[in-house]
Amino acid sequence: MMVYKKSIGERAFDIFNVAVLTLYALSCAIPFIHVLSGSFTAGHLITGKELILIPKKFTLENYRFAFTVGPILTALKSSLILTVFGTMFELAGPISMAYPLAHKDLVGRNFITWMIIIAMFTSGGLIPTYLLVRALGLVNTYWALFIPQAVGISNIIYFRNFFSNIPKEIEESALLDGANDIYILIKIILPLSVPVIATFTLFIAVGNWNSFFAPLIYLNDHKKWPIQVVLRQIMQTAQIMSDTGYSAYSGYSEDEAPTPAAVKLAIIIIATGPIILLYPLLQKHFVKGIIVGSLKG
């Protein structure tokens, strides 16, 4: 058996690749390590100009301040509701429209497709959208966040293109066995589309978790505010308390006071931590979905 030996040029290229990818990985990891370590560092030691890889004077005061000042647990529950149900709506809408549009024998297929494309480049704007939501009586309800985002135009086009590349013989065989279109979609098409659906699930879930502007506009009840809105309020409170003097509010000494910079780092971890935990669950399908999309998109 012959053993293939890499040439000097190939080994040099491998070393170059490893070096570049290592630097890229560090450029992604070091900022997160800095934020994580800084969130456990006493506020007066954070200058904003120094890279912190190991916590200095370890403390939990930054997190205690954030959880004390704002209703974070309630906000996390609201964000979880918005993320789970919002993602379900934003997947169900495009899939239910894309599947029939993937069939060339659909009556009016081209007209509907053109209407969708036109809608992708035009919008009624913020004020008309708000007036419509208010007229429907959806203000201060989660439906105001679900329904307007339920049908993403670009998602429809992507799913339609993907469904079009699934061999029609699979559907024809199921039809001969007596299956209807709904059964074929749920039992055959969706299982074949798991990598793509997982990819979009990650993108949509991250977008819903980070949603800030829409909840701020439509939700008047602070008990329904998601984590992003509540963290903004906490940051504003920290800044006011810093300007006025912490001792006037809570008896913090100068060394113990969770400064706005320290609170900001803790808030970043609180906001990003839960959604980061979602990625390992979808990573395998996410990578496969990206490859499938690049080949069939």
At residue 254, the pLDDT reads 58
3-state secondary structure of 9: helix
Tens digits of residue pLDDT in 142-175: 999 888 888 888 888 888 888 888 888 888 888 8
Mean pLDDT of 189-214: 86
Cβ-contact 155, 96 below 8 angstroms: no
- pLDDT band of 44, cuts 50, 70, 90: confident
175 Cβ neighbours under 8 A, 6+ residues apart: 184
pTM score, whole prediction: 0.78
Contact 155, 200 (CB under 8 A): yes
**C-alpha gyration radius of the chain:** 25
CATH number of 62-297: 1.10.3720.10
Going by C-alpha positions, the residue among 148, 151, 170 that lies closest to residue 159 is 151
Confidence (pLDDT) at 297: 41
State the amino acid at position 36 in one-letter form. L
- Distance between CA atoms of 15 and 162, rounded to whole angstroms? 37
Judged against a pLDDT cut of 60, whether residue 1 lies above it is answered with no
pLDDT of residue 238: 75
Q: Tell me: the pLDDT tens digits for 280-296?
A: 776 665 555 555 544 44
Helix (H) / strand (E) containing 254? none
pLDDT of amino acid 135: 92
pLDDT at 20: 93
Contact 271, 228 (CB under 8 A): yes
